[in-house]
Amino acid sequence: MIQPRHLAVANALAAVENGASHVQGTINGYGERTGNCNLTSVIPCLLLKMGLTCACEPNLSHLRELSLFVDDLANVRPDIRQPFVGATAFAHKGGMHVNAVEKIAQSYEHIRPELVGNRRRVLVSELSGRSNIMMKAHELGIDLSKDTPQVRDILQQLKQLEHDGYEFEAADASFHLLIQKLLKKHRPFFTLLAYRVIMDRHGNGDHRIVEASVKLDVNGEVVHTVSEGDGPVHALDRAFRKALITFYPSIAQVRLVDYKVRIIDSQLATAAKNRVIIESTDGADIWGTVGVHDNIIEASWEALVDSVEYKLFKDKKKK
């Protein structure tokens, strides 16, 4: 379906071709009713497709950063399918597709992603081959080659996890941590000793308490924290962060962007597995994590742990 804001971009470019020297629009096409002309599409089209000049040309490589910044100010979840700046604008999945991109990127990419501040993403799934695994590892800064014996192990483990209900297309961070563990390069930042979630609800529904407690071993020190929340996952997340914040202050920057639950094997009804996918951000990057379990709290905990561990891994890598 063609949306009005996409037609607005087409009309703006046609107008420029016919002599217009001024284009009015908004970042990400935000506007009342059906939206406005999207400048994150117009600007790269004018500069990279039509060969024209704009005052903003020196800052083109910050276009995705600007798009995410405006999304953050507006408290709107970023549209991953936006042209040029969307997270999936330069995403590749199929084995043959990925292999071709590895050899001749322009065969599938109309511009270099870096020109607009974006990056190439390789999606991994049960259909992935060795090319996907190696390119994904390279994208994540992990050195793998065709001769690395662990490539086959990673591929087999990936397919087993996908069979068990995991999905890594939207969970790059969990996949990154998985590779690190299989390569025996993962160093945990903490160890879970125990957690508990309690919900107390009176019969008339007027009074409700949701409380979570978390006990962790952080660098040899046992930390036990308790927090309340609006729901069990919220309470668990708050207690978890509270236990870590003294040791790792940077996790205060992490906030949840999206939380999705998918029921697997629905024929099992309430005994079915749950897949939880969490998107998190620290204001600079957005990453996804996944957890799967027949207990939705346990699936959420798994995704929460991966989210925080990935943030701490990123911080360590920068040092």
- Give the percent of the chain with pLDDT over 70: 87
Identify the pLDDT of residue 1: 47
Higher pLDDT, 301 or 207: 301
Per residue in 281-293, pLDDT (tens digit) is 888 888 999 999 9
Q: By three-state DSSP, how is residue 302 classified? A: helix
- Start-to-end CA distance of the chain, whole Å, equals 46
Identify the pLDDT of residue 171: 86
Per residue in 166-197, pLDDT (tens digit) is 888 778 889 888 888 887 888 889 999 999 99
Per residue in 223-255, pLDDT (tens digit) is 999 999 988 999 999 999 999 999 999 999 998
CA–CA distance, 12 with 35 (Å, rounded to integer)? 14
Identify the pLDDT of residue 292: 94
Tokens of 202: 């009176």
Identify the pLDDT of residue 129: 64
Give kind and range of the element (H or E) at residue 99. helix 95-103
Give kind and range of the element (H or E) at residue 131. helix 130-139
Report, at the CATH architecture level, how domain 190-247 is classified. Answer: 2-Layer Sandwich (3.30)
Give kind and range of the element (H or E) at residue 241. helix 232-244
**pLDDT higher than 70, residue 5:** no
Parts of the chain belonging to CATH 3.30.160.740: 190-247
Q: Residue 257 carries which side chain, given as an amino acid letter?
A: V
pLDDT, average across residues 126-146 = 68
pTM given for the model: 0.68
Closest by Cα among 213, 217, 223, 153 to 188:
217
Give the angle subtended at the CA of 162 by the CAs of 159 and 168, to the nearest 5°.
105
